[in-house]
Amino acid sequence: MCHPNYSSHISTELREAMTYVDKVLQPEDIGLCESVQRGLKSFGYNQGRFVVDRGETELSEHAVHHFQQLVLNALER
């Protein structure tokens, strides 16, 4: 199957953004995710999947947990 070549229609700005995502952002994200996974396996980590503080401040992920519970409840119906 022949795929059309749209590269001539991509602006310079979009091409630069795509290169940035490919060369900088994605490798950073991969490194961060791998680091978090190593940290979760360490003996120094004592919480669950989410960072939750008692005051539910902006440092806490209580809203993410709540949203995921809503999705889970909807899927279980």
Name, in order, each residue with C-beta under 8 angstroms of 62's C-beta and a sequence gap of 6 or more. 50, 52, 56
Distance CA 17, CA 12 (A): 9
pTM for the model: 0.47
pLDDT per residue as tens digits for the range 17-71? 999 999 999 999 999 989 888 887 877 766 677 777 788 787 788 888 889 999 9
CA dihedral 38, 43, 44, 46 (to 10 degrees): 100
